[in-house]
């Protein structure tokens, strides 16, 4: 909206310019993804979700569970593909989960805490010990020992062959 109004902005913004759409330029001018992060009490549900194209994942912090849906074939999200994932969907879930973790890290997102201990419930990668999304012979979780989805010192990037 700032670009449409011609207002300069130097700060990193949480969004993207809609100007090319209003100028009638063809093509996608913004990332075709959407991130929602609810780290606070909202009907006692704490979650983060990522929609990328037709794929959607949800991470529930209290249960540490993940859901995967293909909205192209299941708009009502009645079939959770993370329950018994095919190898392809397991790798897809892991890649999307890492991307969500990276986005939350980029925006310095806050995470819910447990009331009794004050312990932070950060995002935890799916429990998929055999997924090797870059096909280098090392499971992704072996490279991400703390399962936070971020490449920390001493870890290698599961997205890149090592």
Q: State pLDDT tens for residues 39-60.
A: 776 656 788 999 998 999 999 9
The Cα–Cα gap between 11 and 56 comes to: 29
Residues 131-135 have a mean pLDDT of 86
- The yes-or-no verdict on residue 3 having pLDDT over 80 is yes
pTM exceeds cut of 0.85: no
Residue among 101, 99, 87, 116 at smallest CA distance from 55: 99
* Both structure tokens of 22: 């209003």
Q: How far is CA 7 from CA 2, 3, 17, 138, in A?
A: 5, 6, 12, 49
Task: Give the tens place of pLDDT for each residue, 62-121.
Answer: 888 999 999 999 999 999 999 999 999 999 999 999 999 999 998 888 888 776 777 777
The Cα–Cα gap between 55 and 94 comes to: 12
């Amino acid at each position: 909206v700032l670009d449409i109004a011609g207002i300069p902005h130097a700060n990193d913004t949480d969004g993207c310019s809609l100007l090319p759409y209003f100028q009638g330029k063809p093509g996608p001018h913004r990332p075709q993804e959407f991130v929602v992060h609810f780290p606070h009490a909202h009907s006692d549900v704490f979650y983060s979700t990522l929609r990328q194209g037709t794929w959607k994942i949800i991470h529930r912090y209290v249960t540490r569970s993940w859901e995967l849906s293909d909205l192209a074939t299941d708009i009502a999200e009645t079939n959770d593909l993370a329950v018994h994932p095919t190898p392809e969907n397991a790798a897809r879930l892991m890649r999307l989960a890492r991307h969500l973790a990276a986005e939350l890290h980029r925006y310095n997102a806050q995470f819910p805490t447990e009331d009794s201990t004050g312990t932070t419930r950060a995002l935890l990668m799916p429990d998929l010990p055999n997924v090797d999304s870059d096909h280098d012979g090392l499971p992704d979780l072996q490279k991400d020992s703390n399962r936070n989805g971020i490449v920390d010192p001493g870890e290698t990037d599961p997205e890149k062959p090592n």
